[in-house]
Amino acid sequence: MSKFWPWVKNPWFETVLEAQRRSKKFLPPSVYAALVAGSERGRTPRDNIDAFGELEFSPHVAGHQSSRDLATTILGIPVSMPVMISPTGVQAIRPEGEVAVARAAANRGTIMGLSSFASKPVEEVVAANENTFFQMYWTGSKAAMVQRMDRARAAGAKALIATTDWSFSIGRDWGSPAIPERMNLAAIYKMVPEGIRRIPWTLTWLRAGLPDLSAPNLKPPTGPAPTFFGAYGEWQQTLPPSWEDIEWLRKEWGGKFMLKGVIRVDDAKRAVDIGADAISVSNHGGNNLDTTPATIRCLPAIAEAVGDQLEVLLDGGVRRGGDVAKALALGARAVMIGRAYLWGLGANGQAGVENVLDLLRMGLDSALLGLGHSSIDQLSRDDLNIPDGFERVLGTEDE
């Protein structure tokens, strides 16, 4: 029985949507709103999801394969299925946060992506999952960035994910919820009206001793770690990077390097030029420029242009194993999930994240079965009916 859901006879949920429903019941409204909202009118996060529904499968009636192989590698790391955890900031919707997510990913044989803005230090997360990729934003001085990379490398991070796109978000039509900088007694007091409505959530924090909500992975060599909003302020005051800066970042890291946030073909080609090992076709879950097309619409052109030169992943709108199959059929090596596992975390902690990963695995396996394949490597455009006008080709002469 779930520790924090005693009235739920079966803590297992059968869909990611059910995880979202349970998270909504467990989390304070302001915390839940921070998870679901996108920038401005919120069109892009909706399109990220809806676009998958426009793609139709073309299944077989017989000749199905009795066993199916879902395993692959991402930047040389073996994974049990082509799904990894996308880095998201401040996963403190439960006190165990990123450590719980990392353990869940390790238990399901996949990679943990850890944000610079995480609520848990990289050392603890790598200890929970040896296959952790560390995400870097372009924030602060180059010396500070080198120090952060050195720390992540020393902790055992297997790759660096460079993200440069979130700074474009400028507001939400429905308002941005107030999130406390530190989960202390003062913050709890301010959230009393919400806390009373969400007693199980309040108890989790009280039982955990009200742990700090700083950004430990941005801690300087001397002095305390900044608060989340202090770190955000540093980021906003840092001049945005050039392509030369991104290449410098790759060289300073020296290991496997992924550039996240690519949505245009010309940017994908520049990522090849600077020596990136992988890119993530991503619009930051709709928290970037609103009305940017869904990532699955932009994936095929990017995969065709550079898929033989680096690994192409997709991030955005994945809610089902069938979505994973569609992304692979259109050229992705793997997908990265964000909100889906956060809802699992909110619904049932580490077990909830494992539940989400299990659902994606089951759905992907079902798609392979119906399509008559024995391996994810066999997925192709022939498995899909793609409606006219579905794809978007950005950043080419034919655009």
Secondary structure (H, E, C), 347-388:
HHHHHHHHHHHHHHHHHHHHHHHHHCCCEHHHCCHHHEECCC
- Edge to edge, what strands does the sheet with 83-85 contain? 83-85, 334-337, 311-315, 278-282, 256-262, 159-163, 132-137, 112-114
284 in active site: yes
Q: Which helix (H) or strand (E) holds 278?
A: strand 278-282
Helices (H) and strands (E) in the chain, counts: 15, 12
DSSP, collapsed to helix, strand or coil, labels residue 300 as: helix
CB atoms within 10 A of CB 396: 12
How far is residue 25's CA from residue 200's CA, in Å, rounded to a whole number? 10
For residue 225, what is the DSSP state?
P
What's the burial of 107, exposed, middle or buried (CB within 10 Å: 0-12/13-18/19+)? middle
Catalytic pick from 60, 64, 284, 373?
Answer: 284
Helices 339-371, 97-107: inter-axial angle, 10-degree rounding: 20
User: Kindly report the CA angle at 102 between 348 and 31, in degrees rounded to 5?
Assistant: 50
Active site members:
284
